[in-house]
Structure 1
Amino acid sequence: MKQLTDQIGTSHFFESTPRRIVSLVPSQTELLFDLGLEDQIVGITKFCVHPNHLLKTKKIVGGTKQVHFDKIKALQPDIIICNKEENTLEMVQELSEIAPVWVTNVVTIVDNLQMITDFGLLFDTTAKAQALNQSIDLALADFTTFVATIPVQKVAYFIWKKPYMVAGSATFINELLRLNRFDNFFGTQSRYPEIAVDASTRYDAVDLVLLSSEPYPFKNEDLAEFTSLFPNAKIRLVDGEYFSWHGSRLLKAISYFKKWHKELFIDV
């Protein structure tokens, strides 16, 4: 008997190691793969695009907010992986009638490392989980040194338009902005606030505006509409996966951030 507690405080009891996994969190599907658990994954969402071939080899059971419960039940999972932000409470409650639902809650880098450790314990891949966390720790230390001399900037990170929405506090995005020595201009507001905009709105104190590729796919043609809102800011498109995905993506994100600073912002 194995007893483990997930990141929302729910205790789970397992007679044996879960072998049939349904993952309803794209970033954690990637983590499961990177921990060597591809064969154990039986169901994923349509947004689980890394690695891409899983969309052809695994059963697609819906999205992150709406799933086909009958398809999940037919897969006879030993465990279902959800996330407090990505999935809904109602989903988790209904899924609990099918199999144990392991819910992650990742707001900080420490939370992320703990999730990886938990997966190692949960799926008997502790050696790979420890190695991954060690690689992340080393990369974080190197990156912290790399950005130490870059001046802190006031940043606004947009995730949506019509209405305009930004990343605020208590989000993993905010944590990674801080990692990059960015001071979140909207960091005093909770979660994902909507930004009211009218003809007279100006945010003169913002140095840098980041337009994410997800969940709203900002494009080059969107940049112009932000110039009057942020007259003193540089405006850049960024790959949202590197700012918002949990798990092993953090290791890839650090490499992305380093290259990104070198190419675009080392002169600031």
Structure 2
Amino acid sequence: MATPTGPQRIVCLTEETTEWLYLLGEEARIVGISGYTVRPRRARQEKPRVSAFLDGKIDQIVALQPDLVIGFSDMQAALADKLIRAGLNVFITNQRSVAEIFATLRLVAGLVGASDRAEAWIAACQAEHARIAAVAATWPRRPRVYFEEWDEPMISAIRWVSELLATAGGDDIFPELAVQNLGKHRVVAEALAPAQRAPDVIIGSWCGKKFRPEKVAARPGWAGVPAVQHRRLHEIKSCDILQPGPAALTDGLAQMHAFCAAWAADAAR
């Protein structure tokens, strides 16, 4: 049996890296995970939870003696700085697009010597994306979709969500915001702006808290929005769409496609 190469003791500061290493069969390398991890569920029972998103238990992480800490986003810069100053090797990715997510999956797989398994998974995933896009291409009309990542202030879809929405068969009503890397640049400045763009479907994923469609429908000036009139307000759990990894590419996309397909079927009647 070949000796494992690459890092042997990995702390995952965000959930998408944990899910990916489990999918690759490399979960034995993981010695610590994010407290927000829910995919796969067994990770919560098998691995110590040592971080939130913006901060972590530095002493506990150091005590785990990781040879690599992997995180995501410029928002983890302060946490990464603390860990680096504690003498640890830290690797932070900053993927925002679907293409960048696939590239990051390949990069992490390469670190643990699992590139062949990664390529097989990615090929199957991309084939499913092509299948879904082909189905959506047969619809006479596509729904206009407002994806809300946060409610106060209102924040619209990040780039990978907007791109996956397009694959799913929907058109993001704020494409100009989706290309912005930072959440503060995706804030919808005017309270009536989403209503004025008349989305057919509203999808909420309030970054860790429960989406409240009744609160959205009750916003002043939103009563005439097609999505509100036809009660097409849906939730996707943030763990399924707001982490830039396997979950968004599979379950998140599938859920958005189901919502768009239901609208398209009604529109065709």
Letter in 2 for 1:266: A
Superposed displacement of residue 131, structure 1:
0.9
Residue range with higher mean Cα deviation, 224-233 or 136-145: 224-233
Classify 1:63/1:119 alpha carbon distance in 2 versus 1 (closer, same or farther; 3 Å): same
Give the % identical residues. 22
Per-residue CA shift, 1:140-160, capped at 9, x if unaligned? Answer: 111110111232333221122
d(CA) in 1 for partners of 2:257 and 2:194? 33
d(CA) in 2 for partners of 1:215 and 1:261? 23
* 1:231 alignment counterpart: 224
Gaps of 5+ in 2: none
d(CA) in 2 for partners of 1:206 and 1:236? 10
Classify 1:208/1:227 alpha carbon distance in 2 versus 1 (closer, same or farther; 3 Å): farther
Residue range with higher mean Cα deviation, 177-186 or 134-143: 177-186
* 2:108 pairs with one of 119, 126, 129: 119
Conservation of the 8 A alpha-carbon contact between 1:219 and 1:237: no
d(CA) in 2 for partners of 1:200 and 1:174? 17
Verify: 1:66 aligned to 2:55, yes or no: yes
Verify: 1:252 aligned to 2:251, yes or no: yes
Classify 1:209/1:252 alpha carbon distance in 2 versus 1 (closer, same or farther; 3 Å): closer
Conservation of the 8 A alpha-carbon contact between 2:170 and 2:260: no
Classify 1:230/1:182 alpha carbon distance in 2 versus 1 (closer, same or farther; 3 Å): farther
d(CA) in 2 for partners of 1:59 and 1:221? 37
* 2:122 alignment counterpart: 133
**TM-score, normalized by length of structure 2?**
0.82
Q: How does 1:199-218 map to 2 (within 5 A)?
A: 202-218=195-211
Verify: 1:80 aligned to 2:77, yes or no: no
**TM-score, normalized by length of structure 1?**
0.82
* 1:47 pairs with one of 24, 36, 58: 36
d(CA) in 2 for partners of 1:100 and 1:198? 44
Gaps of 5+ in 1: 1-15
Classify 1:248/1:196 alpha carbon distance in 2 versus 1 (closer, same or farther; 3 Å): closer
Conservation of the 8 A alpha-carbon contact between 2:143 and 2:264: no
Conservation of the 8 A alpha-carbon contact between 1:242 and 1:256: no
Conservation of the 8 A alpha-carbon contact between 1:203 and 1:230: no
Per-residue CA shift, 1:155-181, capped at 9, x if unaligned? Answer: 22112223322225xx22222222223
